[in-house]
Amino acid sequence: MMEWLNIILQGVLVGGLYAMFAAGLSLIFGVMRLVNIAHGDLIVLAAYVALVVTTGLGINPLVSLLVVVPLMALIGYALQRGILNQTLGPDLLPPLLVTFGLSVIIQNGLLELFTADSRKLQAGAIEVSSINLGGGLAIGTLPLIQFIVAIAVIAALQLIFYRTALGRAFRATSDEPAVAQLVGLDNRHVFALAMALSLAVVAIAGVFLAVRANFDPAIGPARLIFGFEAVIMGGLGSMWGTLAGGIILGVAQAIGAQIDPGWQLLAGHIAFLIVLAIRPEGLFPKVQG
């Protein structure tokens, strides 16, 4: 019994990471109806940026966030202004194709620069420390930090979206792009700010991913799938729903892995299909006013 409780607990903590994968994806889709196929690869790119920063400056990966987050946000702004804005329009296909191409470019670029070797960020003693909850239950310090950060990220996004002028601009531009221009909002700038925010979240997710496990240039697409599944399960447009979706995915994978290590990914996908079959609109769909 305790063993299962432990597994579920670990699954919940991993779910926080999946929620961070998903949050940036959900944000971009919500603001500009852009499905970013390169999202997973951008997470991996952030991990490599963190690798360069940590080895170059000799700092802890968690400290490197101070550099990686603004850097990725800057990349996000430039990417949107330089490329993605040109693909937006009534047709959903061009942004899909362009971000797919971007995904291929990032993967191959990283392969050229860093080879296909697995890498990992070293966070030191914190990686193996844990907090004993008694009764045989223990949670790792790092997964706990990761989960708390995930909740903070979701709460911050929620706050930005519904309580700030920037969030108002995001929602207004998403609602009525043409009218948003009539109140003085430059859509291209607003979209670029949304992408910058998305990649700031991607940077956090990438660093935690890289501390938690090995990474190589090819693992992006699988992270994209996890992100998609968490977004869809949670319900499009709901940030807290995204967290719930991530947790369901994390727990399902943990339970699957316990039954048979080969079932880890399958169990996650099955949980996704079950949710989709029962509630196609997701668990917490955005309530339309």
The minimum distance between CB 178 and other proteins, in angstroms, equals 7
CA angle in degrees (0–180, nearest 5) for 184-153-72: 65
Distance in angstroms (rounded) separating the CA atoms of residues 109 and 127: 29
What is the spatial distance between Cα 228 and Cα 21, in angstroms, rounded to a whole number? 8
Number of residues this chain uses to bind other proteins (CB under 8 A): 20
Q: Does 169 bind other proteins (CB under 8 A)?
A: yes
**Count of alpha carbons within 13 angstroms of residue 277, beta-carbon side:** 6
Closest separation in Å from C-beta 266 to other proteins: 37
Considering only residues 182-211, where is the footprint of other proteins by CB under 8 A? 182-187
- From 66-74, 89-97, 148-156, 172-180, give the range in contact with other proteins by CB under 8 A: 172-180
Q: Does residue number 172 form part of the binding site for other proteins (CB under 8 A)?
A: yes
Reference 69, options 244, 189, 198; nearest CA is: 198
Site for other proteins in 100-119 (CB under 8 A): none
Name the token pair of 116: 């296909």
Based on CB atoms, which residue is closest to other proteins, 77 or 215? 77
Among positions 2, 116, 125, 178, the unique one binding other proteins when judged by CB under 8 A: 178
- Out of 90, 117, 175, 278, name the contact with other proteins by CB under 8 A: 175
**Binding span for other proteins by CB under 8 A among 83-91, 133-141, 178-186, 257-265:** 178-186
DSSP state of 263: G
Q: What are residue 140's DSSP bridge partners? A: 130
Residues 6+ apart with CB under 8 A from 280: none
Q: Which chain residues interact with other proteins by CB under 8 A? A: 165, 168-169, 171-172, 174-176, 178-187, 288-289
